């Protein structure tokens, strides 16, 4: 059926022009404005030729069709339905339907959690704190002895993941980017505090299991940590809102390798409005800059840091794949 013009008679049979009747059943708004318009057209076309005995009958028909449209997978939404997309982006973690934290994952996951750099850093931090006091420097930073101890304990992570700190000999906290970031996250999570010139682990930090620790740090990172910290990109806070959408997309790769560039560009294509926060430059389009920012924030500084992916290759040839830890921590439907 041809597209309904706004001045055409509304196919619902009201006798009004389409623009005065059913054109606004959906209220298109970013994000997804084009998809909403398309859904509106599909709905009106479905009504064409229908005979309704009452407004109530028409409403029942509309409600049924709207549910069908909302539950149908859409290419523009990365293969998710509008309902699934809305849940992934806006619903609290406890109300997510496509995945859930595994309630009994502790025993099976604990032995694997050292593969996450942030967990290895916490263990090194804790082992040092149990042997000696952590006295802050005059500027309030971690002491050199702790910095070197942590480096010794997590050197394999640094060697294996070239996207972690480029410096190879750490003398102070500022040299060790991952330790500095971890310290901030530990404080935000209530695991570390400063008192009278010393860094002290809290009671919770001393008693927490590795599985509960991972869940706490993961949640703290995506809810409280500033993702744009020292990366030079625009704020683009929407990236943090895509965490569950991105995680389910990662799981659907089923452990297969994918280009980091492709994965990042597909997200920007799905959420095109986020690129509006970036600017075109001599060397890059705003879309490319947005994809690069997503790559840095989600793939390198979050997922890699938490041991959920491995990244191999250089520059635009980088490939990533999920680690076994992903399925040990979450159940996906």
Extract the runs of DSSP E, i.e. beta strands, from the chain: 99-101, 134-135, 192-195, 198-201, 258-259, 309-312, 319-322, 330-332
Write out pLDDT tens, residues 104-146: 666 666 668 989 999 999 999 999 999 999 999 999 999 999 9
Tell me the domains of the chain and their CATH numbers.
Answer: 1-62 (no CATH), 99-103+235-332 (1.10.10), 116-213 (1.10.10)
pLDDT band at residue 31 using 50, 70 and 90 as cut-offs: very low
DSSP string, 97-138: SSEEE-TT-HHHHGGGGGGSHHHHHHHHHHHHHHHS-EEPPT
pLDDT at residue number 1: 38
* 37: pLDDT strictly greater than 70: no
Q: What separation in angstroms does the CA of 33 have from each of 1, 2, 28, 270?
A: 22, 20, 5, 12
pTM beyond 0.85, yes or no: no
Residue with tokens 């000999």: 169
* 166: pLDDT strictly greater than 80: no
The DSSP code for 299 is I
pLDDT band at residue 208 using 50, 70 and 90 as cut-offs: very high
Distance CA 26, CA 33 (A): 10
Full strand arrangement of the beta sheet holding 309-312: 258-259, 319-322, 309-312
Write out pLDDT tens, residues 254-288: 999 999 999 999 999 999 999 999 999 998 999 99
pLDDT band at residue 18 using 50, 70 and 90 as cut-offs: low
């Amino acid at each position: 059926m041809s597209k309904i013009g706004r001045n055409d008679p509304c196919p619902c049979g009201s006798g009004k022009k389409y623009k005065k009747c059913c054109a606004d059943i959906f209220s298109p708004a970013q994000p997804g404005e084009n998809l909403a318009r398309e859904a509106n057209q599909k709905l009106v076309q479905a009504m064409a030729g229908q005979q309704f005995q009452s407004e109530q009958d028409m409403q029942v028909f509309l409600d049924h069709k709207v549910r069908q449209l909302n539950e149908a997978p859409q290419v523009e939404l990365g293969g998710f339905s509008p309902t699934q997309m809305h849940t992934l982006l806006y619903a609290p973690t406890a109300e997510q339907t496509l995945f859930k934290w595994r309630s009994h994952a502790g025993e099976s996951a604990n032995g694997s959690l050292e593969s996450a750099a942030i967990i290895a850093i916490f263990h090194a931090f804790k082992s040092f704190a149990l042997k000696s006091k952590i006295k802050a420097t005059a500027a309030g930073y971690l002491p050199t002895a702790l910095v070197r101890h942590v480096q010794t304990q997590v050197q394999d992570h640094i060697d294996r993941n070239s996207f972690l700190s480029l410096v190879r000999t750490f003398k102070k906290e500022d040299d060790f980017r991952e330790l500095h970031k971890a310290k901030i996250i530990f404080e935000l999570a209530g695991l570390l505090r400063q008192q009278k010139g010393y860094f002290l682990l809290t009671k919770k930090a001393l008693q927490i299991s590795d599985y509960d620790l991972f869940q706490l740090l993961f949640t703290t990172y995506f809810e409280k940590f500033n993702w744009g910290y020292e990366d030079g990109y625009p704020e683009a806070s929407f990236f943090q809102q895509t965490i569950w959408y991105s995680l389910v997309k990662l799981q659907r790769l089923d452990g297969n390798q994918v280009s980091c560039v492709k994965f990042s560009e597909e997200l920007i294509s799905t959420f095109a409005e986020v690129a509006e926060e970036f600017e075109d430059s001599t060397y890059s389009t705003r879309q490319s800059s947005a994809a690069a920012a997503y790559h840095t924030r989600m793939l390198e500084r979050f997922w890699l840091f938490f041991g959920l992916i491995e990244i191999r290759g250089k520059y635009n040839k980088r490939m990533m794949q999920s680690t076994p830890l992903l399925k040990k921590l979450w159940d996906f439907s």
